[in-house]
Amino acid sequence: MAFRNSEGLKMKANPRDVRTGTYYMDGDIAAGYGALAAGCRFIGGYPITPSTEAAESFARIAPQSGAVFVQMEDELASVASIMGASWSGVKTMTITSGPGYSLMMEAIGLGAMMEAPFVILNIQRGGPSTGVPTKTGQADMMQSRWGSHGDYEVIAISPDSPQELFDFMIKAFNLAEKYRCPVMVMSDECVGHMSEKVVVPPAEEIELEPRRIYTGPKEEYLPFKPDQDLVPKMVKAGDGYNLYVSGASHDERGYPIIYQKGKNQSDSTARRLVDKIRLNADKIIELHEEKLDDAEVVVVSYGITSRVAVRGIELARKKGIKVGKLRLVTVWPFPDQRISELAAKVKAFVVPEINYGQVVYDVERCSHGEANVVLVPHGGAGVHDPEDILEAIEYAATEKKKIRKVIIRKTRLEKKVFGGGLK
């Protein structure tokens, strides 16, 4: 009974949805199990390597819980259908990878404007365009934040193991219901196709965020009137509330502001969509920090790279370098404040990414020139070697000058394949 509680009361997962047990499974399949455990009742999807297994695993276990998986004709239809399902009262998500993610951008803007809660699982792959479909990449990070046109904010979380793919699906649905914004789970092919131990806990231990339902009198309902935390209460279609939900900029009744005669037509909708996340950022942002107390160099990473970084940090500590780890569990909204604080204390940040520089520019922005920022790029189709991160940490620890731009330390593979250049 996902939607009968009013706000503030957490609820437990339905035991029918949760396949309790200990498994050895792929990340993708764990994501399918996690989605059902979170209460997802509709997935409109389209097959794309490397994310198809998530859709397949959901299709196998969904009918026994009354959930539906429909393979739509393309990604455009998939994402449009989950908006509709969201407004008809169910938790929904879709599953895709790079090329499909680009197709979904228009509808993500629509979902942000309509404040429909939904989750998109993006198992990133080599890009751009068709790229390398069967190998890993992390090059969609900026697109998840800025992909659609206009002003809006999203939440993006990045898991680093199949167990986390299961847990983060639940976390993503909870965030989506709480903030009514698009939530992107930015995984990658390495984690998606990795097989590891996944423990699915019993249903009583899984806490779900219920949808915030309006329970007052019908005539007084204003679909877009926000609560204290700037998130409005929701209802579902077909209950006699006479909804008007539009992708156009609207007022509290949902009516497009072009219909307001004589009023000042400044767009206040986008302001609230943006503030909703920015002002609640401290409650949303989650970071994993290790060994930061005496650190002189901080390795900022996310996703699979953070696991490689752990080894790199270990090797560096053995050599006596004081290095700490900052893992971005939530990549968006970006932890501006924490990075700024650290920038005042440490010498440098090392940012390994499986792309040619995306999140590193936000790190540089927030460091305000007080610490060096070193990027370790990787072209994709594989992950970093811990030695590459070690080399970058060593450089960062010994560099005395303040260099006012992102310093690129190439991996040994890059140097071997491309030689010099790329500075």
The footprint of another protein on this chain (CB under 8 A) covers a number of residues equal to 70
215 part of the interface to another protein, by CB under 8 A: no
Radius of gyration from C-alpha coordinates of the chain: 22
Among 30, 38, 81, 224, indicate the residue that binds another protein (CB under 8 A): 81
Q: What burial class does residue 53 get, using C-beta atoms within 10 Å of its C-beta: 0-12 exposed, 13-18 middle, 19+ buried?
A: buried
- Taking the complex as a whole, the smallest distance from the CB of residue 216 to another protein amounts, in Å, to 17
- Taking the complex as a whole, the smallest distance from the CB of residue 120 to another protein amounts, in Å, to 14
Classified as helix, coil or strand, 355 is: coil
Q: Within a 13 Å sphere around the CA of 26, how many CA atoms are in the beta-carbon half? A: 17
- Taking the complex as a whole, the smallest distance from the CB of residue 199 to another protein amounts, in Å, to 24
238 part of the interface to another protein, by CB under 8 A: yes
224 part of the interface to another protein, by CB under 8 A: no
60 part of the interface to another protein, by CB under 8 A: yes
Q: Give the other-Cβ count within 10 Å of 205's Cβ.
A: 11
Q: Strands 207-208 and 11-12, how do they pair?
A: antiparallel
337 part of the interface to another protein, by CB under 8 A: no
Considering the complex, state which of residue 27 and residue 333 has its C-beta at the smaller distance from another protein. 27
252 part of the interface to another protein, by CB under 8 A: no
Considering the complex, state which of residue 1 and residue 9 has its C-beta at the smaller distance from another protein. 1
Considering the complex, state which of residue 15 and residue 369 has its C-beta at the smaller distance from another protein. 15
**CB of 30 within 8 A of CB of 186?**
no
Measured CA to CA, the distance from residue 211 to residue 334 in angstroms comes to 25
Considering the complex, state which of residue 2 and residue 321 has its C-beta at the smaller distance from another protein. 2
Measured CA to CA, the distance from residue 239 to residue 404 in angstroms comes to 58
48 part of the interface to another protein, by CB under 8 A: yes
Name the nearest CA neighbour of 176 among 274, 93, 275. Answer: 93
Q: Give the other-Cβ count within 10 Å of 296's Cβ.
A: 16
239 part of the interface to another protein, by CB under 8 A: yes
**CB of 247 within 8 A of CB of 99?**
no
85 part of the interface to another protein, by CB under 8 A: yes
* Residues from 8 through 47 that contact another protein (CB under 8 A): 14, 39, 41-42, 44-47
- Taking the complex as a whole, the smallest distance from the CB of residue 130 to another protein amounts, in Å, to 7
Q: Give the other-Cβ count within 10 Å of 285's Cβ.
A: 19
Print the binding letters for residues 88-117 with another protein: x by CB under 8 A, - otherwise: xxx-x------x------xx--x---x---
Print the binding letters for residues 123-152 with another protein: x by CB under 8 A, - otherwise: ------xx----------------------
- Taking the complex as a whole, the smallest distance from the CB of residue 334 to another protein amounts, in Å, to 28
Q: Spell 117-142 as b/e; 16+ CB within 10 A means b.
A: bbbbbbbbbbbeeebbeebbbbbbbb
Considering the complex, state which of residue 241 and residue 395 has its C-beta at the smaller distance from another protein. 241
- Taking the complex as a whole, the smallest distance from the CB of residue 57 to another protein amounts, in Å, to 10
Classified as helix, coil or strand, 372 is: strand
**CB of 331 within 8 A of CB of 302?**
yes
Considering the complex, state which of residue 44 and residue 159 has its C-beta at the smaller distance from another protein. 44
* Sign of the torsion angle spanned by Cα atoms 93, 99, 101, 107: negative
Among 132, 142, 255, 287, indicate the residue that binds another protein (CB under 8 A): 255
**CB of 86 within 8 A of CB of 96?**
no
Residues near another protein (CB under 8 A) are 1-2, 14, 39, 41-42, 44-49, 52-53, 55-56, 59-60, 63-66, 68-78, 80-90, 92, 99, 106-107, 110, 114, 129-130, 236-248, 253-256, 259
